[in-house]
Amino acid sequence: MADCLICTNSIEPFHDFGRMPIANGFLRPEQVTDEFFFELKVGFCPSCKMVQLTELVDPDKLFHDDYAYFSSISTRMAEHFRQYAEWVREKYTAAADPLVIEVGSNDGIMLRNFSNAGVRHVGVEPSANVAQAAREQGINTLCEFFNEETARQICDEYGQADAVLGANVICHIPDLHSIFAGLDVLLKPTGVFVFEEPYLGDIVEKASYDQVYDEHFFYFSLHSVRSLARRHGMELIDVLPQSVHGGSMRYVIARQGSHRPTASVAEILNREIDNGLAHAATFVRLSERIDASRDALVGLLQELKGQGKRIAGYGATSKSTTVTNFCGIGPDLVEFISDTTPGKQGKLSPGVHIPVVPYSHFAESRPDVALLFAWNHASEILANETAFRAGGGQFVVYVPEVRILDDKTSYRHAG
């Protein structure tokens, strides 16, 4: 049995998704013969409450000079990060000439707001292609993995920071102890570490099992984050639920005793007890719901296909790699996946090898059904797809349950 990467206790595996390829490993046809696979299994640590993968994929295999995800593909997310940056500026950068660091700054979707406002900033981004996209906009970006060593390097060059920020990145980093050791070096005595990640409470509530893939090594709750922070002399001082990416949580951490925790921390910790997030039995039930969701989705797709309908995937997300491989959904059921990211187009989806095509192909070839892999962007996508739906096109979703969205049903699970 694997040991917890936070507290070294044995973790209890609760769901095995089977053999999985790299979630963002879109391939050219000639690459399919040496595709990499690993065992995607997730477990719960009964001691520190951290949910985590049982097998680690080398970060260099995931984050490199051809990383597939460019954050700025969504206008809704750009607006979210504008607001996130504004909130940080108002609350935590009152000092003269503040310094803000972002871990996993990708193409600069958040830091451009600091850069445009003339705030001193450093982005730390190991994937060279997305880091370059940020640099081209004048965003100061260090192309490295953030850890204790890079934290020291930044501190030597720029001094201590008022705020270290992250979004959808801290859960990607297996050695979180190195991150906290880095924070200890890099943060001013009253500095804050603010990050937001998909929230375990939403994953359990919605059975959104597609959040589970190689890059997402941890699935955070307040319980597990509090326990981790305490080990490093820090504490959780605020938490703010966010609607983006299917339900996220923003955590604010500071040195023990440097800030007064808000009432939300105790409130949401209590809610987690009520919702069973600190108990192994919750995850055993989640595993059963995941199996039921797979059976329902495959059943619906086969039924639609049996009616002669043409089904296309909408959004070649990392999440879709888990869904297609776990459910065994290949090109026989889903003809192609439409995606607006140029680097994914013309490639095959990981593992099941469904062709990924530009959006123009979706618009022109008019499939009957769109399987909404990018369900977390549904508000933006549905607003853009009124013509597809008016022409009889149907969207299928599988979070929080498998169903066809008709015109009258709203979909409130998107950001």
Residue 63 contact, options ligand DWN, ligand SAH, none, Cβ 5-8 Å cut-off depending on partner type? ligand SAH
The DSSP code for 96 is S
- Residue 141 CB neighbour total at 10 angstroms: 26
Query: Residue 362 in 3-state DSSP?
Result: helix
Could you say whether residue 62 binds ligand DWN (CB under 6 A)? no
The tokens of 263 are what? 């009432």
Q: State the nearest-atom distance from the C-beta of 59 to ligand SAH, in Å.
A: 6
Residue 374 contact, options ligand DWN, ligand SAH, none, Cβ 5-8 Å cut-off depending on partner type? ligand DWN
Please answer whether residues 77 and 109 qualify as being in contact, where contact means their C-beta atoms are separated by less than 8 angstroms: yes
Could you say whether residue 168 binds ligand DWN (CB under 6 A)? yes
Of the residues 73, 185, 240, 382, which one makes contact with ligand DWN according to CB under 6 A = 73
Could you say whether residue 179 binds ligand DWN (CB under 6 A)? no
292: Cα within 13 Å, side-chain hemisphere: 11
Could you say whether residue 103 binds ligand SAH (CB under 6 A)? yes
Q: State the nearest-atom distance from the C-beta of 274 to ligand DWN, in Å.
A: 27
Could you say whether residue 126 binds ligand SAH (CB under 6 A)? yes
Could you say whether residue 168 binds ligand SAH (CB under 6 A)? yes
Q: Which residues ranging from 18 to 47 are in contact with ligand SAH (CB under 6 A)?
A: none
* Strand duo 187-198 + 248-255: pairing: antiparallel
Could you say whether residue 377 binds ligand DWN (CB under 6 A)? yes
Q: Which stretch binds ligand SAH (CB under 6 A): 89-97, 168-176, 249-257, 354-362?
A: 168-176
Query: Residue 104 in 3-state DSSP?
Result: coil
Could you say whether residue 169 binds ligand SAH (CB under 6 A)? yes
The tokens of 82 are what? 């504008």
Could you say whether residue 344 binds ligand SAH (CB under 6 A)? no
Could you say whether residue 127 binds ligand SAH (CB under 6 A)? yes
Closest residue by beta carbon to ligand SAH? 104
Could you say whether residue 146 binds ligand SAH (CB under 6 A)? yes
Please answer whether residues 51 and 44 qualify as being in contact, where contact means their C-beta atoms are separated by less than 8 angstroms: yes
Q: Which stretch binds ligand SAH (CB under 6 A): 44-52, 103-111, 392-400, 403-411?
A: 103-111
Q: For residues 355-386, b (16+ Cβ closer than 10 Å) or e, as one string? A: bbbbeebbeeeebbbbbbbbbbbbbbbbeebe
Long-range contacts of 154-158 (CB under 8 A, 24+ apart): 154/101, 154/122, 154/124, 154/186, 155/185, 155/186, 158/99, 158/120, 158/122
53: Cα within 13 Å, side-chain hemisphere: 24
The DSSP code for 147 is S
Report how far residue 403's alpha carbon sits from residue 299's, in angstroms, rounded to the nearest whole number.
11
Q: State the nearest-atom distance from the C-beta of 87 to ligand SAH, in Å.
A: 15
Could you say whether residue 215 binds ligand DWN (CB under 6 A)? yes
Could you say whether residue 74 binds ligand DWN (CB under 6 A)? yes
Q: Which stretch binds ligand DWN (CB under 6 A): 113-121, 137-145, 347-355, 372-380?
A: 372-380
Report how far residue 264's alpha carbon sits from residue 142's, in angstroms, rounded to the nearest whole number.
34
**Using CB under 6 A as the criterion, which residues of the chain lie in contact with ligand DWN when the complex forms?**
69, 73-74, 168, 215, 245, 315-319, 338-341, 344, 359, 374, 376-377, 380-381
**Using CB under 6 A as the criterion, which residues of the chain lie in contact with ligand SAH when the complex forms?**
59, 63, 67, 69, 71, 103-104, 106, 109, 124-127, 130, 145-146, 167-169, 172-173
